[in-house]
Structure 1
Amino acid sequence: MLFSACLSLLASFVLSVDAIELARDPSASLSCDINSVISCGAVGLSWQASLLGFPNAFLGLIAESVVITVAVASLGGVRFPRWFMFSAQVVYTIGLLFAYWLFAQSMLVINALCPWCLLITLSTTLVFSTLTHFNVREDNLYLPRGLQRRAAEFVRSDSDLFVVATWLVLLVALILAKYGAAIFG
């Protein structure tokens, strides 16, 4: 969780700097403007990149800093109350849905991919899965007893790791199926 949140924070920082650069000069060429498919500029200039009236990357600077704090505190032995971890799960689920909405917009509407945005999608998926794994294991999600028991067995067997790995492979396959060789040239 800590490693993935640090990756997201780095990507959010770069995207924030790029957003400021694009605000100054919308015709600026960003370092990740490689071709028509891999184009941070095309994604950054879209309305989706500032859905709430400011660059989405600013949300990442805030959210990932909180995730890093929780991860470091947990590694240091802090045990957060159940309500706190449940709340963190709810908020991070909203973040995951937002990340995947942005991914879908990038793939299907904008028709360009931003490597930093893809890194955020990846790391958000990993943080979400890690947080969910922990919360199921620690019974923090207020699930009905039968569902909690089945979810805990699923997590204990590490089947959730297989699901996440499969999901990520499917995302890569989706990108390659849509853009193919155009990604590389």
Structure 2
Amino acid sequence: MSDATTSLALDTDPDEPGDVDEDAAPAFDPFERPTGWSHSRGLLFGEMLVFALLSLVAAFVLSYDAVVLAADPAAVLSCDVNAVLSCGTVAQSWQAQLFGFPNAFLGLVAEPVVITTAVAALGGTRFPRWFLFAAQCVYGLGVVFAYWLLTQSMLVIGALCPWCLLITVSTTLVFASLLHWNVLEDNLYLPRRVQARLLAFVRSGAYGYLVAAWLVALAVLVLATYGPSLLA
């Protein structure tokens, strides 16, 4: 074989170092932000806006009811449906005034902040990383408080407040939407390996199924605890 032929054979060897395969797929970046409507600013902050508004309405109604009960402890509230679904029973418990005033007043303060943040984000405002991280932590405390009140209602007080249930569901969904966004934007100051795994979980669509399963489990828990008594 001539030297020219040998040289040509070496140049066309696909295993030769330095050769570039133009058809090879680019390396997968585990930190690449997923795209699509389900991961969009409009959807996630739109969800936050809707559910924060629902929580604000519920907090306003509960605050009004607290004032009514303060004036007349024997008053019958519009959501006093039966022995199980009874806002009055829950409102007159010590758990409903854990800090010395009706818990609903906290919602009147917190939810407008969430609503303002969501509206600003939908308008294109980009908040600093620390702000959204702090918002996630503070709202997380609110979710923990909402579920503490729910367990107290079910296990200690023995009655459920429909408006309180709405707040529990709404705060859960606001927290979930904010967490979705913060994972996408890497706002949680997590170790790189943890961030990559969470991003992969969100990218796969499993996060949405997890949130839906959580709400279904919550509904099943309420039905299993009270059953027909809810409508008696």
Corresponding residue for residue 66 of structure 2: 19
1:153 Cα shift? Answer: 1.1
Matched, 1:78 2:125: yes
> Max radius of gyration: which structure?
2
Matched, 1:128 2:187: no
Corresponding residue for residue 105 of structure 1: 152
Within the candidate set 21, 46, 52, 1:5 is matched to 52
1:155 Cα shift? Answer: 1.2
Matched, 1:46 2:93: yes
Corresponding residue for residue 142 of structure 1: 189
Q: Count matched residues.
A: 185
Mapped to 1, the partners of 2:124 and 2:140 lie a distance apart of 24
RMSD, matched Cα: 0.5
SS of 2:88's partner is helix
Corresponding residue for residue 77 of structure 2: 30
Where in structure 1 do 4 or more consecutive aligned residues deviate above 4 Å? none
- Counterpart of 2:139, as a letter, is Y
Corresponding residue for residue 140 of structure 2: 93
- Aligned ranges 1:48-67 → 2 under 5 Å: 48-67=95-114
1:158 Cα shift? Answer: 2.3
1:161 Cα shift? Answer: 1.1
Corresponding residue for residue 167 of structure 1: 214
Mapped to 2, the partners of 1:184 and 1:170 lie a distance apart of 20
SS of 1:99's partner is helix
- Counterpart of 1:16, as a letter, is S
Q: TM-score, normalised by structure 1?
A: 0.99
Query: What are structure 1's unaligned runs of at least 5 residues?
Result: none
SS of 1:27's partner is coil
Within the candidate set 147, 153, 167, 2:200 is matched to 153
Relative to total residues, which structure has the larger helix share, 1 or 2? 1
1:75 Cα shift? Answer: 0.1
- Counterpart of 2:160, as a letter, is L
Mapped to 2, the partners of 1:27 and 1:76 lie a distance apart of 47
- Counterpart of 1:164, as a letter, is V
Deviations 1:66-89 (A, max 9, x none): 000000000000000000000000
Q: TM-score, normalised by structure 2?
A: 0.79
Query: What are structure 2's unaligned runs of at least 5 residues?
Result: 1-47
- Counterpart of 1:2, as a letter, is L
